[in-house]
Structures are given as C-alpha cells and as structure tokens.
Amino acid sequence: MQRRDFLKTSIAASAAIVGTSLSAGTTHQPNDTREVSKMAFPEKRPLITYSDRPPLLESPRSTFTKQLTPNDEFFVRWHLPDIPTYIDPDAYTIHIDGLVKKELHISLKELKHDFEQVEVEAVLQCGGNSRSAFDPIAGGIQWGSGAMGSAVWKGVRLSDILNRAGLHKDAKYIGFNGKDNAAYYETPNFVRELEVEELNDHVIIAYEMNGEDLPYLNGYPLRLVIPGYYSDSWVKMLSNITVTNKYKSLFFMDVAYRVPDNECECETPEEKFKTTKPITTMNVKSVIGYPENGMKVYHNSHIVIRGVAFDDGHGIKAVMVSTDDGKTWEEAILKKGSSRYAYTAFRFAYKPEKYGKVNIMAKAIDRLGNEQPLAKDVKWNHGGYKYNGIDTVQVEVI
Amino acid sequence: MKKLLLLTLLTYTSLFAQVKGEVAVPYISYEIKMGKGFEAIQANCLMCHSFGYVTNQGPQSRDFWHKKVMKMITHFKAPMSNEDVETTTNYLFEHYGNGKLK
C-alpha cells in the first residue's frame, strides 16, 4: 500500500467512525434510473409506476423539456385506494356548508355558467418529490424528480364561491374533502384544512387542465388549485367544502406532510426535531429535461440544454448552467409562463469541446435572491420533503 | 377544408368529456419476496394498497417497519392482531430491511 493510499484509507476509516457516532443525514442526486412501465393508466401514456392502488405515477425526465406538462404525462398521487372510476358530470355537485349564511349545492354546469371563469398557469409538485435524494432513506415513496408538472388550470375562484355562501364572522378554517375513499370505514378521509387567511384570490376550483377536462387520475371533475403550495393541499375530486371555527385534528394535516419547525427545517436521523410545521409553500427548484443521464453527445456538436424552473410565485430571476462541475456558471435564456406560479422554461446552447464525461448542472435563482443549494448541501429531514438541490446530469462526449 | 374540419374538431373536443363511461385502473402485479409471514402481509396490507408501497420504500430498519405497521393501525385503522404486527414487521425487516434494528 502506498503511503498516500494508507492515509486516505485511515481518514476514510476515521470519518466512518465519526459518521456513525454523529450519524448526520446526507443528501445526493435523486434516483434517475427508473424506467416508464409497460402499462398505461387511463388517459395517461406509460409513466414510472410505483403503485397501482392507490395509483402513483411519475413523469420521466424528458417531460421537463416542456413548459406546459401534457395531461397524459402529468404525475399522479393518490392517498386512498378507492377512487371513483365513473363520475356523471350532469349529476355532480359540490357542497358548501358549515359556518356559512347559506348552504350551497353547485352543479358543474352552474359552476361553469354562474361564476366568473378564471385561468391560472401553475406548478403542482408533491412535497416528497425527489425523496430518493435523502440518506438515510426517508420513509415514503422514493420519488425521483418527476412528481411535478405545470398546467393552465381553469375554473372559478374559491373566494367567489365563499362570498356567495357568505362566511360567518367567526369562520376560521376551511376543510376540503374529495371523493376518494379508504378500504375501511374508520380510516380518516383525506381532508385538508386551511386557514381562511391563507386562501387568496389565486385559489381556484378547477375543472379544466390545459384546455381539457381534468383527467380522472388528476381529480376529474373538480380539484382545488392553490398556486405556490405543494400538492398535498390541492384536493382532487373535490366534493365538500366545510367552514368551521375550530381546527379539527386530521392525520394528513397533523402527522403527514410536515417538516421540522426550525429555520433550516432540518434534523438528524437520531435526534428528530420535536415540533413540526406543514410544508405549505414551495422553495426554488429547477430540473433539466434534456440531455439525460448517460446520453452520448458528439464532440463539437450543438446541444441545447433544456429544463424548467419555478418557486412559490415570487418568480424566477435567472437559471445558471455549468458544464465544468460548478467552477463557472453562465446564464440560460428564459421563457416565462403566463403567471408567476408557472414554470419558467430555460435553454442553454452548449458545444462540448472536450471528450469524456461531463456534468451538466442547472441552478435557479428567484427574485428574492434565493438560490438552489448543491445536492449535498440540502438539509436532511425525516419525511424527505422539499428537496431542491441543483440538478445534475452526466453525459459522455464522444 | 380538411384543415378547417380538423381545427373545428379540435376546438370542440374540449367540450366533451375525455372519457365515456367508466375508467379502469390496470392491475399491476408487483414482485414480492416469498417467505415466512407472507400470508399475514397478503391478508393485512393488500386490503388498502399494492405491494408497490412496500417495495418502493427502500431498505429500512426494523424500527422503521414496526412504526409503519403501527401507523397503519393507529392512523389508518387497519384491524390487525398483535400477533400479525409481529409477523408482518419480521417479514418486512427480513426481506426489505437494511440490517439495522434502529
């Protein structure tokens, strides 16, 4: 053994010892090796499939070359196994009750004709998107980076509906429930409860996605759209809105989808932070759609690196691209969406001038100056939420 | 004219529901390891979710799997006997474990 090698080994060994005693959580690039399944789900093309019941589908990397995510490529995540597979649009109504002056039953037809119709282009992302980046492995589905998408959502403002019902003075919370059911009667419904103050005019009840009916698996015929927020609150197949003045204790609000309530939203695997808070708004993030990991590209050819970037609605100021392991960064060309909640598409002209493996990295910066950390600098949390590390793909120049 | 017709068709498609009648979510048979306790897994887990949920959690500690089983009972109200809690936890740790107790 060379002396240098020996030194390296002993440093590694002592690091390992320190590592086990401290056992800090670490993060790395999320899993990018899963392939789309052979089986297509209704109104979907074949996607990465984690479960059929409840359905859990992830978009492959190539989806993120597009500013709008096509409906048939849009990811799917349900929590309960029993999803209605037939809905009669002529009979469907949404019910508004609780602390309102007038209870409402609104049919789909009334929703489309008796209210102002509005549209918002907005990103929908699972709070556990990229969970496979966490080590030790955080509990939950080991998503790659494809549990996200962006669409133009058309519907009616929630505030218009609540105004028509008339909120009581002491109305404080609004609960949203969809038509999905558990196998056992006693299992809690997937109800979301939000504070009245959190719900601004941008929150809509949508029936259309990119100019078409919502696909069944994305919540046909109605879903809540809360631009800037993670998707756990975008209730699908929305059927009930209940206004209350007391917070009900709910599993999906109080136990799931929460991060440590400290500034870094982080903790160690051995000493979990005692208090937690809901994941709520999204942090700045970008994903490269092209090229993909393992692709071969020709020396001196002209490559266009493409991808999408977003945050919680402050807007993307810049996307920086590096092809030299982060030593130098250059600005990509941006194409904004129609709203500040939408994907900002980016492209970057790249001419590979040296042979061999090259790491292509993309880093988004939002208008507040928040920028994505390196994958290894993302702080660990036990639920594996809110990962937003700089995306890296490795290509080989031949 | 053909173009015009196509355009008209495209414009009108959004007015129709995309699906007529019932949708069918396909059944996927996820590969799962056989072994002692598998019957308990089949009886208790499959009621609510596919094996995909088990195999896509990544290798985990015994403590993790025990907590998962308990979560199914406490929060999701799965009617499981104490004996099945032991059996399923042991099975999950043996086949989908990371070798660590905690």
Where do the domains of chain A lie, and which CATH numbers do they carry? 48-278 (3.90.420.10), 285-397 (2.60.40.650)
Q: Give the β-pairing of A93-98 and A238-244.
A: parallel
pLDDT of residue A316: 98
C-alpha distance from A38 to closest chain B C-alpha (Å): 10
CA–CA gap between residue A316 and residue A305 (Å, rounded): 18
pLDDT of residue A199: 84
Among B21, B56, B75, select the one facing A86 at the smallest CB separation.
B21
What residues does A395 pair with on adjacent strands? A358
pTM over 0.80: yes
What residue of B is the nearest CA neighbor of A140?
Answer: B57
Q: Are A26 and A376 in contact (CB under 8 A)?
A: yes
Interface test with B, best of A82, A154, A213, A218 (most B CBs within 10 A): A213
CA–CA gap between residue A243 and residue A174 (Å, rounded): 5
Among A39, A85, A187, select the one facing B76 at the smallest CB separation.
A187
Read off the pLDDT band of A194 (50, 70, 90). Answer: confident
Q: State mean pLDDT over A100-122.
A: 97
**B56–A141 CB contact, under 8 Å:** yes
CA–CA gap between residue B19 and residue B61 (Å, rounded): 44
**A139–B79 CB contact, under 8 Å:** no
Task: Answer yes or no: is pLDDT of B90 > 80.
Answer: yes
pLDDT, tens digit, 9 for 90 and up, residues A241-260: 999 998 876 777 777 899 99
Q: Which residues of B touch A190 (CB under 8 A)?
A: none
**A42–B23 CB contact, under 8 Å:** yes
Q: How far apart are the first and last CA of chain B?
A: 70
Task: Answer yes or no: is pLDDT of A174 > 50.
Answer: yes
pLDDT, tens digit, 9 for 90 and up, residues B57-88: 989 999 999 999 999 999 889 999 999 999 99
**B79–A184 CB contact, under 8 Å:** yes
Neighbour-count burial for A297-335, b at 16+ CB within 10 Å, e otherwise: beeeeebebbbbbbbbbbbbbbbbbbbeeeeebeebeee
Q: Identify the contact set of chain A against chain B, taking CB-CB distances under 8 A.
A: 37, 39-43, 49-56, 80-81, 83, 85-86, 89, 132, 137, 139-142, 182-184, 186-188, 208, 211-213, 215-217, 220, 251, 255
Residue A170 CA: distances (Å) to CA of A150, A173, A176, A192, A245: 35, 9, 18, 19, 6
pLDDT of residue A20: 43
**A213–B18 CB contact, under 8 Å:** yes
**A183–B14 CB contact, under 8 Å:** no
Percent of chain A with pLDDT over 70: 94
DSSP state of A14: H
pLDDT of residue A24: 84
CATH architecture under which domain B33-102 falls: Orthogonal Bundle (1.10)
pLDDT of residue B3: 53
**B52–A52 CB contact, under 8 Å:** yes
Q: Which residues of A touch B68 (CB under 8 A)?
A: 139
pLDDT of residue A175: 92
Assess: ipTM above 0.85: no
**A142–B56 CB contact, under 8 Å:** yes
Please give the residue that has the higher pLDDT: either A170 or B14. Answer: A170
